[in-house]
Chain A
């Protein structure tokens, strides 16, 4: 049977096509994961629904409540959006680490999230940022924190027919900063062996008031580490505090040994990266 390819004009239509689909059906954003899987024969879809013709998925919108990044917006467009870069430098730097220039001109953060890999680069930064997914399904709309979307390697909490229309980032209070770091053995074109995203807000005395820390590639899904956040809230990120942060991150790791890294290595380096990312975020927040 030949594969069907559809280009709906609205998210609702896309959801309806997906809900009614028999056989294997996939949404297509940038295609940098999906097409690779199709070409290698890992999947043989009966239906592919391309979301790139839906107006609501196309743009980055700034409003009083924050940012709304359409599901078809390529990572490169995020890097070319000055306001987004200024408010969420960590999220943008994470998206702009994916693959290469060629990949970034196509790939999306929604695709990155829905590929459901624990090593996805933009996801720890999104979770640290408190990002939410705006979902359209056959039964209407719902909004879900990003950390609730992926349930394990390759699995998601989305129900049949549900489509992510956009990712939202909250309004940024003053004196806030975020940062993302990943470890790869090469300089580019690689998959994170470990990664860390940190977002924080300071008070007027440069004391950390709020923080979120997320780690990638150290567990079946990207993990939010509240203990790591607790370790730095109320501090000025002195060395002893950073050590506690690193220890909390290492403690939150339950990685595997594989071709990309060992348990030992991932556990150790998760702490190192979180410490370094926290320092960058602190600096960006004006902590000096």
Chain B
């Protein structure tokens, strides 16, 4: 049945309430089963041997001693994972990242793996594998990697997006460009031009649960994978392809997930676990250590960005440009392109141009991290915006309001906006009491805006009515942030029943059609849409069953307040039939009552946020303290406001960590120096103030309830908001993230020295 996804301004009964999440009790009592919590009879322990070198030719791998060790059931190298990708370079890159093929490309790159009866045996076996490395020159810095004499990370890569097509290999995998108008003409009109360069260091998503899976492949070509993932359908397709299996023969079950933030949208060691299991003919459990997570799974890019913005004295921006260099680790991707697209998405600009350089270095393969690429671009742009405002003597908030994009604005990345929330979030920020709160000594206030596209995509949902009238909702999007609660609310709303009567399950890949991953803030948007439609299908069935029971035309039956009601004078004496009545009668009225929907949920509404924060800086040590933090964001419609606020707060906290302390530190030797939570400093509870939130609801016209994704935008403004606050507090412009105490103190000292020198 065709359903209309348009927004209808329907009145809600349960949407917007805050019931407890169905997975909450199990999670707080430790009963929930995460990636490492599955067990199979006869299971083996898998371990991966990783390169200690950032770049090395693998001359020889001698596994004979390890194979002979008692208790070892399989040892594999890339020879056990042949290239079945048929010329698909992207897939081959994924395979190569899972297991080095002739060359180790970063410190932590997998070179071999073992499966053994227990952990001590597996550890011993790893030590017995002898790898002959020939160390090659390496490069880990994005700007260094772009120099003509830099070591080449991937000899097959030719820069795309430039004319003429280059013949020589380069570390720049692609150049992309966005914008409109004539920026040169625009700069000529400007009264003030600010031009500045910025750097941000590499950070990791820092999910608390390491990657873990239990893989089992039999000689009959059938397999199962239990895994912590944001998208088990995608994992199934990738793993099946890399291992030469048929998609339907591999069943993937998503465990509960202890955080992903983009890092679990990608396979890292799951194909290795399957290959080990296939060779050993036993189930294999593979659980990464924290060190492995840091050294070999998807951090986000480190970046180097130049920004130039010109404005007239009246506050109009006349032209804006950005050049963005993002390192992607050792494999080509599109992260600089996303940075180039998002840079100026908040503003209504006549002349704008952004250029992205995607760059390869000897670091782990970069993957998505919450609104991937946008925070770094926003740091550079929003820091410059503040400086332009200051130079023309306007307040940062008024300057932003004056230039904010609105309905009908042509976005710098191409499309024309529909109704959007940037203006309203800025107005709300301007009117927020936080903006007027007094600042103490050495304290500074900063603000910044952020944008994220959001994504819709393929979705498929089942809704089944039990004989007691309770509802089983089956979805295929992994619940990373409370979506089971939100989707249950949606089912309850449509059916007119209590939230408690709905149970939402995440199906394995054998039980439901394809679902795209939980990424792009799409979970509640897209599965919510499919749930609405599946429920409406069920209501059709329920009306038919009631009509049949009453022997009246189905047109005379309406679904109201959780029951079928006969409409029309002729049926006035018919007692309404509740969902429970109809469910109880279902075995004899036509069998199971079920609804189903599959949809490509287009029209995910773009999302905007404005953040305000106050920071105190100790001018003698460079230490910072976040005094106050406020997030204002457009949610379209907050289905379950607790979890919307949770997303706002979570993004802000990750942004605070990134802005102030988190960073990958590489030594001269190209090795990661801090692969652990002691020296990779995510904020601890006592580092943070209460994060205040304000939800705005500007309906997305392309969703029945007006939902927009909310999960990602919240990490976009913090780097810049904190950068502006620190700069105001310290009296010196900070251009390098993280703004760790040594960097802040150094900036203060050089500013003092400069002032002293006159």
Contacts and interface: CB of A to CB of B under 8 A. Distances in A.
B684 A187 contact: yes
A5 B745 CA distance: 48
Contacts of A185: 623, 660-661, 681, 740-741
A237 B684 CA distance: 36
Interface string A36-60: 0000010000000000000000000
Interface in B633-686: 660-661, 665, 673-674, 678-679, 681, 683-684, 686
Contacts of A264: 742, 746
Main secondary structure of the interface of A (DSSP, over half): loop
A188 interface: yes
B686 A188 contact: yes
A259 B674 contact: yes
Contact of B679 (A259, A272, A273): A259
Nearest to B123: A41
A265 B674 CA distance: 19
A186 B661 contact: yes
B687 A258 contact: no
B741 A186 contact: no
B745 A190 contact: no
Nearest to B291: A40
B684 A258 contact: no
Residue in B123, B660, B674, B741 whose Cβ sees the most chain A Cβ within 10 Å: B741
B745 A259 contact: no
Contact of A265 (B123, B679, B684, B741): B741
Contacts, number: 53
B123 A259 contact: no
B661 A265 contact: no
A272 B674 CA distance: 27
Residue in B684, B741, B742 whose Cβ sees the most chain A Cβ within 10 Å: B742
B621 interface: yes
A269 B678 contact: no
A186 B621 contact: no
B706 interface: no
Contacts of B740: 185
Interface in A222-281: 258-262, 264-265, 268-269, 272-273
A265 B745 contact: yes
Contacts of A9: none
Contacts of A189: 678, 684
Contacts of B622: 265
Nearest to B677: A189
B555 interface: no
Contacts of B163: none
A265 B747 CA distance: 11
Given A186-B661, A259-B674, A265 B746 contact: yes
B11 interface: no
A169 interface: no
Interface residues of B, number: 23
B745 A183 contact: no
B687 A186 contact: yes
A100 to B, nearest CB: 9
Contacts of A272: 620-621
Given A259-B673, A259-B674, A265-B622, A187 B742 contact: no
Contacts of B746: 262, 264-265
Contacts of A259: 665, 673-674, 679
Contacts of B683: 186
A264 B620 CA distance: 13
Contact of B741 (A41, A183, A191, A273): A183
Contacts of B742: 261-262, 264-265
A183 B749 CA distance: 18
A258 B681 contact: no
Contacts of B660: 185
B661 A187 contact: no
Interface in A182-202: 183, 185-191, 193
Contacts of B674: 259
A242 to B, nearest CB: 12
Given A187-B686, A259-B679, A264-B742, A269 B661 contact: no
Contact of B684 (A41, A186, A191, A269): A186
Nearest to A262: B742
Contacts of A261: 741-742
Contacts of A273: 621
A68 B684 CA distance: 35
Interface in A145-189: 183, 185-189
Contacts of B684: 186-189
A183 B746 CA distance: 16
Contacts of B678: 189-191
B679 to A, nearest CB: 5
A185 B679 CA distance: 10
Contacts of A262: 742, 746
Nearest to B622: A265
A39 to B, nearest CB: 10
A185 B138 CA distance: 30
A190 B660 CA distance: 15
Interface in B356-401: none
A186 B745 contact: no
A275 B740 CA distance: 22
Nearest to A273: B621
A104 B621 CA distance: 27
A183 B624 CA distance: 12
A186 B662 CA distance: 11
Contacts of B665: 259
Nearest to A265: B742
A192 B681 CA distance: 13
A2 to B, nearest CB: 11
Contacts of A183: 621, 623, 741
A193 B660 CA distance: 16
Nearest to A187: B686
A187 B624 CA distance: 10
Interface string B613-641: 00000001111000000000000000000
Interface string A8-39: 00000000000000000000000000000000
Nearest to B740: A185
B663 to A, nearest CB: 9
A258 B673 contact: yes
Contact of B745 (A188, A191, A258, A268): A268
Nearest to B660: A185
A272 B745 CA distance: 12
Interface in B724-758: 740-742, 745-746, 749
Contacts of A265: 622, 741-742, 745-746
Nearest to A269: B621
B679 A187 contact: no
Contacts of A186: 661, 681, 683-684, 687
A183 B684 CA distance: 16
A258 B673 CA distance: 9
B75 to A, nearest CB: 20
A193 B679 CA distance: 11
A169 to B, nearest CB: 29
Residue in A183, A260, A264 whose Cβ sees the most chain B Cβ within 10 Å: A260
A16 B687 CA distance: 46
A269 B673 contact: no
B523 to A, nearest CB: 32
A98 B227 CA distance: 37
Given A190-B681, A259-B679, A269 B123 contact: no
B121 to A, nearest CB: 14
19 contacts: A185-B660, A185-B681, A186-B681, A186-B683, A187-B686, A187-B687, A188-B684, A189-B678, A191-B678, A258-B673, A259-B665, A259-B673, A259-B679, A261-B741, A261-B742, A269-B620, A269-B621, A269-B745, A272-B620
7 interchain residue pairs of minimum CB distance: A265-B742, A187-B686, A259-B665, A259-B673, A272-B620, A259-B674, A262-B742
Given A188-B686, A260-B679, A262-B746, 10 more contacts: A183-B741, A185-B660, A186-B681, A187-B686, A187-B687, A259-B665, A264-B742, A265-B742, A268-B749, A269-B741
